[in-house]
Amino acid sequence: MAVFGVDYSWGRPGVAALKRAGAKFACRYLSHDTTGKNLTRAEAEELSDAGIWVVVVWQTTKNRPLDGRAAGVADARDAAAQARACGMPDGRPIYFAADWDASPGQQDAIHAYLDGAASVIGRGRVGLYAGYGPMKRAFDARKITYGWQTYAWSGGRWDARAQLQQYLNEQTINGAAVDYDRAVADDYGQWRVDVSPVTDDVPDYVSLGTTTEQRLAPGEWTDVRWETEYSDRHHQHRDEGGPGLLTGSARYSLSVGATVTGVPAGTEIQARVVEVGIDDPSSVDAGPVQEYVSFGDTADLLYGVAADTVREGHRVRFQLIQHGTADAAVTAGSAKVFFWR
């Protein structure tokens, strides 16, 4: 499951445009630049508040790693200080850029540079941005724990150990130049201000409700619609009054309570979540089904999923079916969804 993100330098697309574009993370620079290239604390907070993860890369000159171990020591010290000032939690990695078509003969210098960085921040926090050749050689030599591979100089080959892939350059979002990236691992070095997905793993949540009566025909799976948003700061619900609970990709858990009326005692009722394609709503993947039996004209149901994953480009909905002989109705409901990106 790939997660879409971007990287950019001097241009700033803005969080609203990034969210409209579907970006889940932004890779940003640390360096000695003083003209606006670098990530700032204010920008990190803005991205974090919008629910967009941050990844950091250190780059001064394109071939800085050729300066060897001493350069790696100095750069790691400066990079760690800058990242800490921007709110990066302890233990999160920093990528170091080798932004050229490095030859095998240059790899020893790159390895020495990475050794220098590791002596400052620890090998487990050292990442490399590079093409296929230097990326593969660095992983093979166990000089890095994280890899951000660019398609440039890669000849269509991808190292499966790299957590990030830069797959398209020279794009534009809201007038700002960006490159397109994808995360292909759960942990790709992302963080939010003072929040680590590894140690904190703080979920976001959606809380919705309905008090509008909704027809529940016999023998038909029916989407429950939600017109009240108690909490939905990342706009996962999307359509006010609609059935969407969560927009992927995300890991999630949920609980849904619903009141069904007009069901004689002994009527079987079933509930499930489904994953529906955003571009193709007819594409439906059903989740776990839970069964209930009415003990009177009214049934109060509680449905839960402890852990599941919704894919990119899909949404989660909650459905009910009743197996009586006449129409029933959903008269009230509430849903709470906790999710992790």
The yes-or-no verdict on residue 237 having pLDDT over 80 is no
Contact 85, 59 (CB under 8 A): no
The yes-or-no verdict on residue 341 having pLDDT over 70 is no
Specify the pLDDT at position 250.
83
Specify the pLDDT at position 231.
84
Contact 125, 91 (CB under 8 A): yes
Question: pLDDT-derived band of residue 238, with 50, 70 and 90 as boundaries?
Answer: low
- CA-based end-to-end distance of the chain: 11
Stretch 244-261: mean pLDDT: 90
Peptide bond into 253 cis (omega under 30): no
Stretch 39-51: mean pLDDT: 94
Stretch 61-72: mean pLDDT: 97
Question: pLDDT-derived band of residue 243, with 50, 70 and 90 as boundaries?
Answer: very high
Stretch 258-271: mean pLDDT: 96
Model pLDDT for residues 120-137, shown as the tens digit of each residue: 999 999 999 999 999 999
Specify the pLDDT at position 226.
94
Specify the pLDDT at position 235.
76
> Closest Cα partner for 305 from 260, 336, 267, 270?
336
Question: pLDDT-derived band of residue 334, with 50, 70 and 90 as boundaries?
Answer: very high
The yes-or-no verdict on residue 201 having pLDDT over 70 is no
Domains of the chain, earliest start first = 3-183 (3.20.20.80), 204-340 (2.60.120.40)
Judged by average pLDDT, the poorest of 108-117, 157-166, 306-315, 327-336 is 306-315
Stretch 293-299: mean pLDDT: 92
Supply the pTM of this predicted model: 0.63
The yes-or-no verdict on residue 186 having pLDDT over 60 is yes
Write the DSSP symbol of residue 173: E
What does R_g of the chain's alpha carbons equal in angstroms?
Answer: 24
Task: Using DSSP bridges, classify how beta strands 164-173 and 146-150 pair: parallel, antiparallel or unpaired.
Answer: parallel
Specify the pLDDT at position 185.
87
The yes-or-no verdict on residue 229 having pLDDT over 90 is no
Instruction: Give just the sign of the alpha carbon dihedral 150, 151, 152, 153.
Output: positive
Q: How far is residue 249's CA from residue 261's CA, in Å, rounded to a whole number?
A: 34
Q: How far is residue 307's CA from residue 230's CA, in Å, rounded to a whole number?
A: 22
